[in-house]
Structure 1
């Protein structure tokens, strides 16, 4: 019998709790009803990251402390979490749909013999049942997925899908756990964790984004876009067709089947504006779009529009920011 707990895995990178954790806490509190929101944090004994998490007001933070967690492999985290879940029997477990979340969550799912819905865009409860909404069929429809026969119910959610909200004077219970069995992954050794040169570890967390579409794929535009990105401290993202380009991958994709972004500034180059893309940019603060087609739907989502060639726009922009 599962308990009335919704777990949120606290993801961290180079000692910093990632924003998706706070976003998931806020959403879990919104849909919890009479259920408890519990954050699961794995950290070395000299860390106190739970103090940052308290600001978002979960009911409880379970802190697993062990010096070996400083460089723990994802499989080791999954084993510890499976042992903890077997003891407390949570109703649901939520992860960020990040590189880390996509690695730990399926490992944990296999150990617990339950279901996992990846890349969700919404979550809700119908009684004890977690309704998990995600895009399907080439992102053309939204489907609702449930796991009625197994617990815990598991889901991963794309960063920036939900808004994180701090709680004034939260009363949070912190429970420290030290008696779990650390199952060492003998074939894996973490040599070093190095932060990326960009201020954000992924496009999902970037404050400034330059997005490229089919109409901005030639070498000249790419070179100019990279130069502008360096000057602005921006990340470069792409629409789905450009994930096949040698310079990009699925990690760079923006939209329903990629990343949901919320930058302060977004510059769209050569992007027509299909719904698969615009779904991922709804939280951008300032949107500038460039397209040769004056009827391109992307202009309906833009604060400033430039009808013309992307290369010409970039050359002019670069002169301004010299």
Structure 2
């Protein structure tokens, strides 16, 4: 029988719980309506990451400890989650729509023979049904997806879609699991781990972002933007048309069909401001935008605006930050 549990997979990077985990806990708390919010954490025996998770107020943290989890492959994590899910029969399981989440979630889906909706922008419950909202048809409409016949219901959510909120007055149960079988992925060996040069593992977690649109596709502009990014410690993101450029890919895209970002500083260069893009920057703190068109919609979403050429703006900015 399915339990009344909403699971959140605790994603970590270089020993740090990723912000999307806290965002999902906050959303799960908001929609639980009597269901229990359970965080599933896999860690080595010498780690103690559950303390930071407690601050966001889940009902329970299930900690699976094993020294082999230090360098565990995604397939090994999926196997452990499937074993745990078969024991506890959760109603729903939530992942971040990150590189890690997009690797583990479909593996788990296949093992549990259930459904998975990826890249959701909203979640709600209709009784026992998890209503999963995501863009479709080239981002032109929002569709609601349900999984009425199979459990658990599974969804991944883009980072920064929800705002994380700490909870100060909630008692959190910590349950440690040490008896799960471990299926070793013999074909995979971790030879070396190289930390990323940036503190953020993706554009979704970056504190500073320089975004390029059609008006900044010139090679000289891109080169200056890269130089500014190095000086500011920024990530470079792009609108959908620039994902075809040799230097960029879908991982760099901002917007409905890309990443939702929440940097402290966002500089938009040559971006007109279609709704498909602005949906992805709603949580940015300080927004500076550059466009030749004084009526460009992007200026309505900006704290500071510069009407003019992106190359001229970058030349002046680079002089300031020398």
TM-score, scaled relative to structure 1: 0.99
Partner Cα separation in structure 2 for residue 191 and residue 166 of structure 1: 38
Partner Cα separation in structure 1 for residue 241 and residue 33 of structure 2: 41
Partner Cα separation in structure 2 for residue 44 and residue 210 of structure 1: 36
User: What pairs with 1:264-303 in structure 2 (closer than 5 Å)?
Assistant: 264-303=264-303
3-state SS, counterpart of residue 209 of structure 2: strand
Q: Which residue of 2 aligns with 1:41?
A: 41
User: What pairs with 1:201-216 in structure 2 (closer than 5 Å)?
Assistant: 201-216=201-216
User: What's the CA shift for 1:169?
Assistant: 3.8
Whether the 8 Å contact between 1:195 and 1:201 is mirrored in structure 2 is: no
Partner Cα separation in structure 1 for residue 275 and residue 290 of structure 2: 17
**What do residues 2-54 of structure 1 show as CA deviations (whole Å, max 9, x unaligned)?**
10000000000111100000000000000001100000000001100111111
User: What's the CA shift for 1:299?
Assistant: 1.0
**What do residues 269-321 of structure 1 show as CA deviations (whole Å, max 9, x unaligned)?**
01111111000000111111111111211111111111111000000011111
Q: Which residue of 2 aligns with 1:239?
A: 239
Partner Cα separation in structure 2 for residue 147 and residue 26 of structure 1: 22
User: What's the CA shift for 1:242?
Assistant: 0.6
User: What's the CA shift for 1:192?
Assistant: 2.7
User: What pairs with 1:253-268 in structure 2 (closer than 5 Å)?
Assistant: 253-268=253-268
Q: Which residue of 2 aligns with 1:122?
A: 122
Partner Cα separation in structure 2 for residue 14 and residue 302 of structure 1: 34
Matched, 1:83 2:83: yes
- Between stretches 296-305 and 32-41, larger displacement belongs to 296-305
Q: Which residue of 1 aligns with 2:32?
A: 32
**What do residues 166-215 of structure 1 show as CA deviations (whole Å, max 9, x unaligned)?**
11143111111111110000000122332211121111111111000011
**What do residues 52-87 of structure 1 show as CA deviations (whole Å, max 9, x unaligned)?**
111111000000000000000000000000000001
Partner Cα separation in structure 2 for residue 26 and residue 6 of structure 1: 12
Matched, 1:179 2:151: no
Q: Which residue of 1 aligns with 2:111?
A: 111
Q: Which residue of 2 aligns with 1:140?
A: 140
Whether the 8 Å contact between 1:14 and 1:193 is mirrored in structure 2 is: no
3-state SS, counterpart of residue 290 of structure 1: strand
3-state SS, counterpart of residue 142 of structure 1: strand
Partner Cα separation in structure 1 for residue 202 and residue 219 of structure 2: 24
Equivalent pairs counted in the alignment come to: 322
Whether the 8 Å contact between 1:6 and 1:91 is mirrored in structure 2 is: yes
Partner Cα separation in structure 2 for residue 101 and residue 171 of structure 1: 28
Partner Cα separation in structure 1 for residue 301 and residue 260 of structure 2: 15
Partner Cα separation in structure 2 for residue 96 and residue 195 of structure 1: 21
Q: Structure 1 unaligned runs (5+)?
A: none
3-state SS, counterpart of residue 223 of structure 1: helix
CA RMSD of aligned residues (A): 0.7
Partner Cα separation in structure 2 for residue 179 and residue 151 of structure 1: 24
TM-score, scaled relative to structure 2: 0.99
Q: Which residue of 1 aligns with 2:97?
A: 97
**What do residues 100-158 of structure 1 show as CA deviations (whole Å, max 9, x unaligned)?**
00000000000000000000000000100000000000001100000000000000000
Whether the 8 Å contact between 1:95 and 1:155 is mirrored in structure 2 is: yes
Whether the 8 Å contact between 1:229 and 1:236 is mirrored in structure 2 is: yes
Q: Structure 2 unaligned runs (5+)?
A: none
Q: Which residue of 2 aligns with 1:71?
A: 71
Whether the 8 Å contact between 1:239 and 1:253 is mirrored in structure 2 is: yes
Q: Which residue of 2 aligns with 1:162?
A: 162
